[in-house]
Amino acid sequence: MTCGRETPVAAKENPGIAAHLWNAWCTRRFRDLRCVCGLFLLLSMASAFETCLAQSASPQQSIGATIQGTIVEADHKAVAHALVRLESQDGHRVLQTVTDSNGAYVISALPAGTYRITSELNGLHNRVTDPLVMAADEHRRVDLVLEAANTPGAKSNPSSTAAPPSPSAADAMQFADLPNFTVAGVTDWTAAGGHGSDARLRTSEDLTRATVVLKPAEASSAKSKDAASESESSLRAALAKDPHSFEANHRMGEFCLREKDFHEAIRALQAAYEIDPANASNEYDLALAYQGAGQLAQARDHAQHLLAHAENANAHRLLGDLDEELGEPLLAVNEDERAVRLDPSEENYFQWGTELLTHRAVKPAIEVFGDGAKAYPKSSRMLAALGAALFAGGRNDEAASRVCEAADLNPADAAPYIFLGKIDLAAPTAIACVEPRLAHYLEQQPESALANYYYAMTLWKAEQSSESKAQLQRVELLLTRAVTADPKFEDALLQLGILYFSQSNFKQAADCFQRAVSADPQSSAAHYRLGMAYARIGEHDQSRAEFARYRELDQQQAAAIEQQRKEIKQFLVVLKDKPATVN
């Protein structure tokens, strides 16, 4: 047997014949093998060629960074066929594209580097922006606004020979009152715009959310004293008596709006609108009712209809609120600014400032809240908001000072004290004005879990250098009162456990950390601290389990926070006499 085949009889009897047959067989096998190898090589080359064709035909396979966005005019209309130019900082790479019918553009397959982006069409240009630093495979959204070349901050057009129009007296006065910044566009979230560590950034974001909550319900004609004095039964009786009466429907709608029965409010206010569509007060209330019911498109239609007939600061502010809810922050901030230009009320200043702060335009937010505080020095929430903006800008002492003023203006309001507690916790050292205000907060509300907690924390920070036994006992007492008032107060349970741990009371610490985990099973910090306590009392298996849970939660929470931040666009801001920045 040779290679699985039997040797012929003649070959067995004659070795010469056998050798000849062997050579012939091997030659044939070698030729067959070469054919197989050649066929395999051809198939491999064809497969590779198909792959290359597929990759070149599919835009999804592009490798490198991508910049995309939308180009709009100052009136927020999309600009089709606008030229978008991207130039590398060294000038060696220039890419151009044009926007589609929706004003959208995409520039992809970019190597990592620093780029400057510009756009223009028919004499309109975007404001000059700072360079964009792009990492490999990064995706960044940049939306730009095109303006006339003579607009302050807009890129000049040397070929333009048209003289700028002469401003009216009103325009000149308005120009003199312009802020020291302009929002030139929006971009994806970056770490810019704040100061300090990630823990500090989280505190700043927490303060921003708390600031927005300070914003009261929209002022409305539905809050008139006459409507407030009427009962629902009398209003329904009047409507039943004359269902085609504008006044009866309008007053019924006002009542339902005030009671937050938005669907009933829409029914009555819509009926009134059909009777008298020219009544601006009723249409404004109808827009508010649609907003309250979550029907944002209808609310925006009515707000825009109001503005089509006459300028109205309330309608601009409402439209800004709706644009923000609909995911159009660039439109929103422009509406908010217009509202302040028409009526520099406390409410309008506050909404403009919160819009800027929400989208990490820290310096502009400080400016707007500062102007608002000057115009309304008795507004506690304006001062608290200014403090939140100053904290976001890394100005701890100034931030605390302003919030302390807010607390003094309205001692019965807990919000400024909570702001102070958060600022003091995140600040590297104790801030002088905080302790006496938090002491006053505790005097006013001795049973409050928050009052006990924040005062305990500010005392602990102030005495950490000396670690007075008496002071630590007081801190322990206050934290104990906090968790007694609220047994599910995870932060207080965590800090009480940390205090016990620092005193080597590991079993008491473990008990506090266990309660903290029960209060909030998703708290990575509580699992980490519990793992440390278990290790100290010899429960090593439980310790390892807690550390594993900590790592799992920490990764999940970091990813969730990153996603939340990416969902909030940042403003590209042009400061006076400076290029645009992610501020």
Query: Given this model, what pLDDT does residue 265 score?
Result: 96
Rounded distance between C-alpha atoms, residue 451 and residue 463, angstroms: 18
Query: Given this model, what pLDDT does residue 186 score?
Result: 86
Rounded distance between C-alpha atoms, residue 1 and residue 22, angstroms: 12
Alpha carbon 230 to chain centroid distance? 42
User: What is the full DSSP assignment across 335-393?
Assistant: HHHHHHHH---HHHHHHHHHHHHHTT-HHHHHHHHHHHHHH-TT-HHHHHHHHHHHHHT
CA atoms in the 13 A half-sphere facing the CB of 219: 11
In 3D, which of 246, 301, 293 has the Cα closest to residue 266?
Answer: 293
Residue 225 phi, psi dihedral angles, 5° rounding: -65, -35
Joined tokens for residue 213: 């909550």
Rounded distance between C-alpha atoms, residue 56 and residue 138, angstroms: 20
Query: Given this model, what pLDDT does residue 175 score?
Result: 34
Query: Given this model, what pLDDT does residue 134 score?
Result: 84
Contacts of 218 (CB under 8 A, 6+ apart): 288, 314, 317, 318, 321
* pLDDT in single tens digits along all 583 residues of the chain: 434 444 444 444 454 544 454 455 445 544 554 444 444 444 444 444 444 434 443 444 446 888 888 988 877 788 888 888 888 877 667 787 888 888 889 888 788 888 888 888 877 887 766 678 888 888 888 888 887 755 544 443 333 322 233 333 333 334 335 688 888 888 887 655 455 567 889 999 999 999 998 965 344 444 444 545 578 889 999 999 999 999 999 999 999 999 999 999 999 999 999 999 999 999 999 999 999 999 999 999 999 999 998 999 999 999 999 999 999 999 999 999 999 999 999 999 999 999 999 999 999 999 999 999 999 999 999 999 999 999 999 999 999 999 999 999 999 999 999 999 999 999 988 899 999 999 999 999 999 999 999 999 999 998 776 667 888 999 999 999 999 999 999 999 999 999 999 999 999 999 999 999 999 999 999 999 999 999 999 999 999 999 999 999 999 999 999 888 888 889 988 887 655 566 6
Query: Given this model, what pLDDT does residue 92 score?
Result: 65
Query: Given this model, what pLDDT does residue 250 score?
Result: 96
User: What is the full DSSP assignment across 85-134?
Assistant: EEEETTSS-EEEEE--TTSEEEEEEEPSEEEEEEEEETTEEEBPBPPEEE
In 3D, which of 322, 312, 321 has the Cα closest to residue 345?
Answer: 312
59, exposed or middle or buried, with CB in 10 Å at 0-12, 13-18, 19+? Answer: exposed
Query: Given this model, what pLDDT does residue 115 score?
Result: 86
Q: Are 384 and 437 contacting, i.e. CB atoms less than 8 angstroms apart? A: no
Query: Given this model, what pLDDT does residue 462 score?
Result: 83
Q: Are 532 and 550 contacting, i.e. CB atoms less than 8 angstroms apart? A: no
The label of the residue with tokens 């080359």 reads 45
Query: Given this model, what pLDDT does residue 536 score?
Result: 97
Query: Given this model, what pLDDT does residue 60 score?
Result: 43
Query: Given this model, what pLDDT does residue 7 score?
Result: 42
